[in-house]
Structure 1
Amino acid sequence: MQPSLQTDRYSSIHRRRDWRVWWRLTRPHTLTAAFVPVCIGTVLALHETAIHISLFIAMLIASLLIQAATNMFNEYYDYKRGLDSPESVGIGGAIVREGIHPKTVLYLAVALFAVATLIGAYICMNSSWWLALIGSICMAAGYFYTGGPVPIAYTPFGELAAGFFMGLVIILISFFIQTGEVTKTAILIAIPIAILVGAILLANNIRDLDRDKEKGRKTLAILVGRNNAIRILAGMFAVSFIWMTVLAFSHIVSFWTMLVFFSVPKAVAAAKGFIGKTKPIEMMPAMKATAQTNTQFGFLLAVGLLISHWL
């Protein structure tokens, strides 16, 4: 009886460990870059029309799947190019640390893309088939971020690509499938979210600067240097808050959207957390704070938009 209990306990622990490995493979701290834009685009659409819950859920799931698949392609190609090692810091490295077969990660990423494509077909059937082209371009950008002969991640344009596709485009698609149009207000509100999504990538590149430089990457952080990259990160936070202030005082959005300023302490913690740090492990809290800034800013913006709609 006792050996059986021990075996069951071991199996339970092993299953929990496996579950955590697969969960970490999705890089959950980055999933807010998909969740936040969908919510904001949908809440913004509420000012124009009634919301189709099924389209909102479909868009949310498809965006999360594409983000998770992009992270898995990243995992696979970082391994193939020798960027990941058992000593690498961060949530990546499931292949080198956990023993997951590289092809398993690749096939899983492709499978997630396939499911997202099916969900995308449903969205197109209920909105516009032009979204099939836009969605395909978004998925291609996700793949070519680390895949292909010249990965976007190896260039200074990673932050721009992430902000554009995961911030601006997702918000506008989420808004369009509900309203059938894209407005100037939707574009203006999407811009600070795009900036903060790009900031998540910049924070990651600041942390990995030394390793990426050794492997031949030419990221923005490498080109401008660590100190200037931190200044740019702080500037991205500042521009996002200033942008919302201008929109509010221009009466483009309600003053309730100024709730985003409650996320300022997290942005300050993120920027300060990188100062004077050179070891990747020391910068992990700052990286986490950067992702949390995006989450808090986006959540508070959505709340502000909701309140202004109700009032």
Structure 2
Amino acid sequence: MNFKTFAELIELKAKAASVFPFLLGLAYSLYHYQTANFFPLFLYFIAMFCFNCFVDIWDNYNDYHKAVDTEDYKKNTNIIGRENLSLKTIRTLLMSFFSLSLLLGLIVAWLVGWPVFWLGLFCYFVGIFYSAGPKPLSSLPVGELASGLTMGYLIFLICVYINTSAVFIWDFESLGSTFLVALPSTLLISNLMLANNTCDLEEDEANHRYTIVHYIGRKNALRWWTMSIVVAYISIVAAVVLRLISPLMLMLFLLLPFIVKQARPYLQRQVKKETFIISVKILLIFSFTQTILMLVSLAI
């Protein structure tokens, strides 16, 4: 297996969906609490990255085995069949990534507190059953909620707790504040899944996967995708008004012309190999700028 195939197998190009919430959690901890706990944070990053790799390989593995469209999807679309990958190698990678992630996660929980264990357990549940079982989450109209909540918010929340475990209070104010700050990431990551399901609507239906797009239709899915970006900006303004983040974060509005320009081709044509990448670009640019502005606000 060469690097290009391995990168596609673990969906390396989409790893920013988990890396940026982590970085934002670190920046928010430094900005709002003036503290960080770097050693367990480093272990958590490795554990999070390994589990993310496991989930993507697991997703491809389950899709390969459950494919109804064996002539086209299984042989020509799914990377395992297309590249004729060894199932033994795939299972070895799955076990390796999962075991390392679990071991490091338990060490982090032992170092900073068991809330990490319970939050991580929920993430593991979502990650495993996202593509496993008779009715995987990815084939139900809850995939967007599951991916957005776990990757956009819980990765961020765990990061904040690791840094602030000595002072963090589990109350409505703390949870509401962290959720509002992480809401743009949550919505844009959810948009990735929504765009993926919109592009794959016919293919999913052929393989008996009935996502939210199947139920609400392509036009409403596009409206939802657009509204999520609008709400992401509203949440930035609300977080600034509530003094949870620096007014410098309002510079994210300078990205609007770029986002509008990027969104137009996707709203016109939803083709996986041509326009799905637009959702990835919007997430990357928005999250990168959001993180940089948070770090710059620390210096100021």
- Same-fold call, TM cutoff 0.5: yes
2:138 paired residue among 153, 157, 160: 153
Partner of 2:187: 195
1:224 paired residue among 208, 216, 223: 216
- Contact 1:258/1:301 (8 A) holds in 2: no
Q: CA 1:104 to 1:266, structure 2 compared with 1: closer, same or farther past 3 Å?
A: farther
Instruction: Give the distance between the partners of 1:197 and 1:272, measured in 2 at CA.
Output: 19
- Contact 1:266/1:292 (8 A) holds in 2: no
- Contact 2:181/2:244 (8 A) holds in 1: no
- Contact 1:196/1:236 (8 A) holds in 2: yes
Partner of 2:229: 237
Matches within 5 A, 1:42-191: 42-47=26-31, 48-82=33-67, 84-88=73-77, 93-180=78-165, 181=168, 183=174, 184-191=176-183
Instruction: Give the distance between the partners of 1:215 and 1:158, measured in 2 at CA.
Output: 16
Partner of 1:12: none
2:244 paired residue among 249, 252, 259: 252
Structure 1 runs of 4+ aligned residues shifted over 6 Å read: none
- Contact 1:263/1:293 (8 A) holds in 2: no
1:41 paired residue among 21, 25, 34: 25
Shift of 1:159: 0.3
Partner of 1:10: none
Q: Helix, strand or coil for the counterpart of 1:286?
A: coil
Partner of 1:29: 13
User: Is 1:303 aligned to residue 292 of structure 2?
Assistant: yes
Instruction: Give the distance between the partners of 1:285 and 1:112, measured in 2 at CA.
Output: 31
Shift of 1:247: 2.1
Instruction: Give the distance between the partners of 2:254 and 2:88, measured in 1 at CA.
Output: 43
2:199 paired residue among 195, 207, 222: 207
**Structure 2-normalised TM-score?**
0.89
**Structure 1-normalised TM-score?**
0.86
Instruction: Give the distance between the partners of 1:202 and 1:308, measured in 2 at CA.
Output: 32
- Structure number with greater CO (CA < 8 Å, separation at least 6) is 2
Kindly, what percent of the aligned residue pairs are identical? 24
What do the CA deviations read for 1:53-103 (whole angstroms, capped 9, x no partner)?
222322222211111111111101111111633443xxxx22111111234
> Partner letter of residue 203 of structure 1?
A
Q: Helix, strand or coil for the counterpart of 2:221?
A: helix
- Contact 1:29/1:288 (8 A) holds in 2: no
- Contact 1:269/1:289 (8 A) holds in 2: no
> Which runs of 5 or more residues in structure 2 are unaligned?
none
Instruction: Give the distance between the partners of 1:111 and 1:210, measured in 2 at CA.
Output: 34
What do the CA deviations read for 1:97-120 (whole angstroms, capped 9, x no partner)?
111123432331232111111111
User: Is 1:289 aligned to residue 274 of structure 2?
Assistant: no
What do the CA deviations read for 1:167-213 (whole angstroms, capped 9, x no partner)?
11110000000001252432210112111111111111111111001
